[in-house]
Amino acid sequence: MTTSSHPPPVGVITIRKALPAEFAEIGALTYNAYASDGLLANDSGYADELRDAEHRANHCDLLVAADERGRLLGTVTFCLPGSPYAELSSEGQAEFRMLAVAPEHRGRGVGARLVRECLDLATKHHATSIVLSTKKQMHTAQRLYERFGFHRTEQLDWSPTPDVELLAYAKPL
């Protein structure tokens, strides 16, 4: 008997706006995804921001990926300039943040579906480009962004705190 290191495929994945009853679960999913990758050492309060899905939903488009049984597989926050969550975007751009896929559902295309939805939303908002920040050590996420045509935009790299370096990526639309 052979075993695969890849998780079994997910059936139908639906991308939709988060429901208020899901905010606590979305906050936990986001936090757990970052924590399981060791991304919250020296977090300077970022863990609380990851857990606060309700605040994100009140100021941005908080999206979820759910399977046919309604299980939450992942989430992302899509925002426009002027939002309290916009870090890099300026007039005419869109941005997404806090892309998180539950560790047990990775490798099934969930992250790619969430990125695709952000690209579609940016187009609907007539954005000319979309930008994002990623931690230097998030190599899997960076490969995903590059597959979608994002390119490094070093002039937008930044550090929210002295011990956190963020790399910027952009994609023209």
Q: How do the domains of the chain map onto residue ranges?
A: 14-172
Residue 111: which pLDDT band, with cuts at 50, 70 and 90?
very high
Q: What is the pTM of this model?
A: 0.91
pLDDT at position 44: 60
Helices assigned H by DSSP within the chain: 23-36, 46-51, 53-59, 110-124, 139-147
Q: Please report, for residues 26, 107, 117, the alpha-carbon distance to residue 65 in angstroms, rounded to integers and kept in the order given.
A: 10, 14, 10
For residue 92, pLDDT beyond 90: yes
Confidence of residue 37 (pLDDT cuts 50, 70, 90): confident
Q: What is the reported pLDDT for 43?
A: 59
d(CA 68, CA 62): 19
Cα 99 to Cα 27, 94, 155: the distances in Å are 12, 15, 22
Q: Topology of domain 14-172, per CATH?
A: Aminopeptidase (3.40.630)
CB contact burial 6-15 (16+ within 10 A = b; e otherwise) = eeeebeebeb
- Rounded Cα–Cα distance for residues 99 and 30 (Å): 8
3 confidence band (pLDDT: 50, 70, 90) = very low
Whether the per-residue pLDDT at 1 is higher than 80: the answer is no
